[in-house]
Amino acid sequence: MRTILLFLFISLFNLGYSQSKHYVCISPNVALNSTIKDPENLFGVTVEVGKYVGTTSLGIVSGFYSLRSDSVYSEFIVTVPISNQVPLSVSTGLGWFYVQKEITMEYDINYVFQLKDKLSLIVTFNNQSAFGVTSQSLCVGLNKDF
């Protein structure tokens, strides 16, 4: 799976710099199905890098599902806008938890708040499935285009 993710990452940046912009997004998240009494599983963080191809974005996400060191994962993610008038988009991703050796799938609804020309805030409701369960989280990411 690592080889596949590395291949997708290299392919992503070989699409050509003249086609579209690249982006990087840092997103802390809060698990909606975890309690405040379980802070280790309540918070997580991801970093996404990718490329816009037309109105679609293709990216690689790496992060920690929780604050535990064994929860690191990476995903290939595709984000498609719902309409041109509303800053809503949907994402789907497929990835791999490294320590547990488990596949993860992700489905997101994203809302974009434009802060500056190449800087935006993205609020995401996330469903992620792995280990036979589905969990939900709320992410607030800072996205920079370049």
pTM of this prediction? 0.83
Q: How far apart are CA 32 and CA 123, in angstroms?
A: 14
Taking a C-beta distance cutoff of 8 angstroms, is the pair 53, 19 a contact? yes
Q: How far apart are CA 121 and CA 7, in angstroms?
A: 29
Element (H, E) at 139: strand 133-145
Enumerate the domain spans of the chain: 2-13+36-145
Average pLDDT per run of 10 along the chain, which is 146 residues long? Answer: 52 44 95 91 94 94 91 96 91 95 95 94 95 93 95
Taking a C-beta distance cutoff of 8 angstroms, is the pair 34, 41 a contact? yes
Element (H, E) at 117: none
Which pLDDT score, from 0 to 100, does residue 14 have?
44
User: Cα 128 to chain center, whole Å?
Assistant: 11
Lookup: tokens for 90: 């949907």
Q: In the block, which residue shows the tokens 């799976």?
A: 1
